[in-house]
Amino acid sequence: MTNKILRFRGRLFDGEKVLENAEILVDSETGKFAAVEESKNKSELVNEKKPIVENITFLPGLIDAHIHFMGTGTYSVQDWSLTSDVILTINSINDAKKILMGGFTTVRTLGDKVSADMSKAERKGLILSPRIISAHYSLAETGGDDDLKQLNSELPIDCARQVAYSYFCDGPWECRKAVRLNLRKGAEVTKIYSSSSFAGGGKVKDELTVEEISAISDESHRVGLKVASHAYGESAILNSIEGNVDTIEHGLGLTDDAAEKMVKKKMFYVPTLAAYVSLIGEDPYKDQWIKRHLEKEVKLAFDNGIKIVTGTDYVGSVKEPHGQNYKELVYLSEIIGAENSLQAATSNAADALGLNDRGRIKKNYVADLIAVKGNPLENIELLNPDNVLFVMKEGKIVKNLL
């Protein structure tokens, strides 16, 4: 019995380069690309049951390398910590579907209560969702980010630990144990806080020592997990680099010195612009960090040759809902151009996550494929969910409006 081959023709961005006319073959039984070739035919989608649609651009399924399934609709550490896991899960499953229908076939979650189990459910086919690379709980120092004592200084530590979506760890051996606890739950990446953030209020400061970060990285790398470091400020970034993490998340405060060191260690940069654009004007202290990040730091990283990766840091809030994750590419394209932004959301993101069979439209790669009307290389806004007409995940069509 021969495998069923699906055939597509159109403009193609394969994760690295553009082909104006390409033919894509998908083996629907293996869920992989069977062949990708240049075509002499005009751009069109070939579909036996529907009319030919012209001016279609095919791309690999997009990747958001930094999200959270917080499931509350709010931007509140208290809500994220105290809301029932059942409610969080129900809302997050709905969010996951919106992300997938928007063309994102893979996401990496970096700290929440429910995504590790959602990842297991997705792999069993129980929910309609992107592939979820889950960190499960993030790793933070006692009293640091995600510790509710920031909102109530009288809260006993045992209560804070019980409701947090982070493991609090102090000293190298506690940090190693926290990695093992996450691994036991099924984590596929490790997320750490090398600094505080804006979420808990107050001023930015370093968190976790180089010794602690190094222990986390060593323990994670022993079992093949990448380490993603939340880092605000040059010293937190430098501590993360010295501690051998794999990706710098947010990276506010990036300097030329830090950028050069990142290049030498082949580290990736996930600037999460979508998390900051709406914050401008809220507070002068935040503004000085954010404006420099948007106006200088991403270009600095790009000019130094650091590979940039898309990540929204969306939590599923009403203000910044899941499903609108394409906006990170819009903001990024204003700095590094549309083609580089598409690469950040496909091949660069796959490389950063250690996914050596995704992020590219290439023979024997997993058939994550999307199609949009028009050319997003000329207008990146064409990636908006309403214009994503076709989504295939692992060789299975999950959206078809053609």
Instruction: With CA atoms as reference, report the closest residue to 189 among 358, 354, 365.
Output: 354
* Domain architecture of the chain: domains with CATH: 5-60+360-400 (2.30.40.10), 62-353 (3.20.20.140)
pLDDT single digits (tens) 378-396: 999 999 999 999 999 999 9
Residue range 146-151: average pLDDT? 73
Residues 360, 60 contacting (CB under 8 angstroms): yes
Alpha helices in 36-140 (DSSP H): 77-82, 85-101, 115-123
Q: How many residues does the chain have?
A: 402
pLDDT single digits (tens) 162-194: 889 999 999 999 999 999 999 999 999 999 999
Q: Is 48's pLDDT higher than 60? A: no
Residue range 296-312: average pLDDT? 98
| Residue 151 confidence class, pLDDT cut points 50, 70, 90 | low
pLDDT single digits (tens) 10-39: 999 999 999 999 999 999 999 999 999 887
Compute the C-alpha angle 272/273/276, nearest 5°.
105
DSSP type of residue 2: P
Which two structure tokens, joined as six digits, stand for 317? 């809030």
Residues 193, 208 contacting (CB under 8 angstroms): yes
Q: Is 44's pLDDT higher than 50? A: no
DSSP 180-205: HHHHHHT-SEEEEESB--STT-S---
Mean pLDDT of the chain: 93
